[in-house]
């Protein structure tokens, strides 16, 4: 038996039966009662547990030496230069795994700072300032729900209204009174043109029969062919103005 390791002689785990010096690993194991070579440590030696060394591709019964060698091989084969890192490489060159990890850590710290700033800003209540045409109000958590309502003037003649789709102004129509020489808009004002019109001449509008007219007045008969619809009264006689 090895004097300090407690293994049978001939079991080559770095400890063989020999005369030991005070500096021998077997003679002075330190805190470890037994010093073994990595070839002597077996992963799940009883083969009764499912292997979790999936990333290494190793199963039960693998030696610690094989596990460590496989890890070392995978670490040595990591080619950071082949990784697609467009966002990180735009910030700084990445040639090693350490550079990658440090840059990721730096960016995460920056993101955390930005999140903290946004959180602090979000804690500030929203202040609503009305404009001349919109009435704002706030509600909800920290008054962060903003609502705006259009102000409708109470001035006389205001035609603006609000329906289910928003602001709306009802269509307006113009009507001409040729006798009184006025122009009227529906739901609105009437403009008198009498002072601007000399005599009785003027257009009497689109009609389907000749109206009572005086010399100088003209109209358009919509019931006639386009070329013969324009009429005018001259010297007491209705004339047709041929359109070509």
pLDDT tens-digit profile of 189-207?
Answer: 888 877 776 666 688 989 9
Which domain range does residue 112 map to? 80-122
| Long-range Cβ contacts of 159-164 (<8 Å, 24+ apart) | 159/187, 159/188
Q: Could you report the per-residue pLDDT of 21-46, keeping only the tens digit for each?
A: 444 555 555 566 678 888 889 999 88
Among the three residues 112, 145, 169, which one is the final residue of a domain in this structure?
Answer: 169
pLDDT of residue 107: 93
Q: How far is CA 213 from CA 194, 233, 242, in A?
A: 17, 7, 19
The answer to whether position 58 is within a domain reads yes
Instruction: Tell me the average pLDDT across 101-117.
Output: 93
The answer to whether position 146 is within a domain reads yes
Q: Is the pLDDT of residue 51 over 70?
A: yes
The answer to whether position 9 is within a domain reads no
Q: What are the φ/ψ torsions at residue 32 (nearest 5 degrees)?
A: -90, 125
The answer to whether position 3 is within a domain reads no
> Using alpha carbons only, how large is the chain's radius of gyration in Å?
50
Query: Are 108 and 59 contained in the same domain?
Result: no
Both structure tokens of 229: 């619809």
Query: Are 88 and 109 contained in the same domain?
Result: yes
Q: Is the pLDDT of residue 162 over 70?
A: yes
Q: Is the pLDDT of residue 18 over 50?
A: no
The answer to whether position 235 is within a domain reads yes
pLDDT classification of 8: cutoffs 50, 70, 90: very low
> By three-state DSSP, how is residue 145 classified?
strand
The answer to whether position 21 is within a domain reads no
Query: Are 190 and 214 contained in the same domain?
Result: yes
Residues 216, 217, 221, CA angle at the centre, nearest 5°?
135
Total residue count of the chain as it appears in this document: 244
pLDDT of residue 197: 66
Q: Could you report the per-residue pLDDT of 53-99, keeping only the tens digit for each?
A: 998 999 999 999 999 999 988 888 788 888 899 999 999 999 888 89
> By three-state DSSP, how is residue 198 classified?
coil
The answer to whether position 28 is within a domain reads no
pLDDT of residue 199: 63
The answer to whether position 181 is within a domain reads yes
Query: Are 46 and 90 contained in the same domain?
Result: no
Instruction: Tell me the average pLDDT across 211-215.
Output: 89
Query: Are 196 and 234 contained in the same domain?
Result: yes
- For the chain, the domain total comes to 4
């Amino acid at each position: 038996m090895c004097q300090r390791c407690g293994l049978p002689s001939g079991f080559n785990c770095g400890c063989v039966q020999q005369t030991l010096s005070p500096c021998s690993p077997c003679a002075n194991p330190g805190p470890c009662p037994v010093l073994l070579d990595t070839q002597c440590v077996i992963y799940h030696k009883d083969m009764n547990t499912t292997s979790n060394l999936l990333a290494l591709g190793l199963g039960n019964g693998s030696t610690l030496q094989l596990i460590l060698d496989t890890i070392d091989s995978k670490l040595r084969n990591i080619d950071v230069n082949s990784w697609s890192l467009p966002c990180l490489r735009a910030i700084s060159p990445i040639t090693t795994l350490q550079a990658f990890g440090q840059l990721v850590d730096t960016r995460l710290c920056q993101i955390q700072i930005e999140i903290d700033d946004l959180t602090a800003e979000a804690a500030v209540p929203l202040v609503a300032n009305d404009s001349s045409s919109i009435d704002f109000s706030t509600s909800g958590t920290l008054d962060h729900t903003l609502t705006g309502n259009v102000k409708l003037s109470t001035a006389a003649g205001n035609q603006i209204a609000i329906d289910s789709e928003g602001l709306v102004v009802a269509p307006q129509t113009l009507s001409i009174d040729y006798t009184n020489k006025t122009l009227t808009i529906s739901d609105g004002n009437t403009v008198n043109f009498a002072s601007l019109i000399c005599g009785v001449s003027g257009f009497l509008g689109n009609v389907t029969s000749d109206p009572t007219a005086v010399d100088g007045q003209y109209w358009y008969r919509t019931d006639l062919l386009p070329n013969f619809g324009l009429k005018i009264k001259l010297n007491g006689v209705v004339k047709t103005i041929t359109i070509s």
